[in-house]
Amino acid sequence: MTFQEYLTSKGLTEEQVQGVIDGMGENKFFLASEEKMDERYPKIKAENEQLKGQLATNQQELETLKKSAEGNEDLTKQLTDLQAAFNNSKAESESALKEQQKEFAIKLALKDSGTLDENIIMGLLNKDIINITDDGIMGLKDQIEKIQGEKPFLFQKAEPDNENPDTPQIVTKGNATGKDKPDPSDPFAAKLAKYE
């Protein structure tokens, strides 16, 4: 059930629901499909800031060492190698962070699309063609629509289908009062009727 459906089920009109949803962004209220996101996000953000601080400190130390090592060719070569390793590490960290942000954005978008199992859908997506921009997530909508067409069972149904219900209605014949005459075509009922 999406947040919009939940609000509608609680008696809000479509206009009221849209007003609530529009006001959430303005007041910095956000929905997340991850549990305890309000606890995990500050920890991840603090860790990210700490790592950025470490990168800046390491860069300053390298610059200081380079200045003090001028004239010593062996030490300068070691520092150059260390700088290259540092730049590699920094690029890998930034790449991993962007990939994680991309994954969180995709999962949030999947939650809004009514998926039943986000992990299965994530496995079916081609993440290489999905880009996160200021305008939103590019390349995701087309893939979701394609998957919805090919595998509709992975998504919630929009409305219940009254013509083809999921559970059949089973109504059995019965004699709740016990006052009806037995069916003469039933041989067992005919034998029972003799003994009454």
In tens, the pLDDT along 8-52 reads: 898 889 898 888 888 877 777 766 666 666 677 778 888 888 888
Q: Is the per-residue pLDDT at 101 higher than 70?
A: yes
The rounded distance, in Å, linking the Cα atoms of 141 and 145 is 6
Average pLDDT value for residue range 156-162: 65
The rounded distance, in Å, linking the Cα atoms of 119 and 110 is 10
The structure tokens listed for 37 are 């996101």
What's the whole-model pTM score?
A: 0.43
* Angle in degrees, CA 138, 143, 146, rounded to 5: 145
Q: Which of 7, 30, 9 is nearest to 19 (CA)?
A: 7
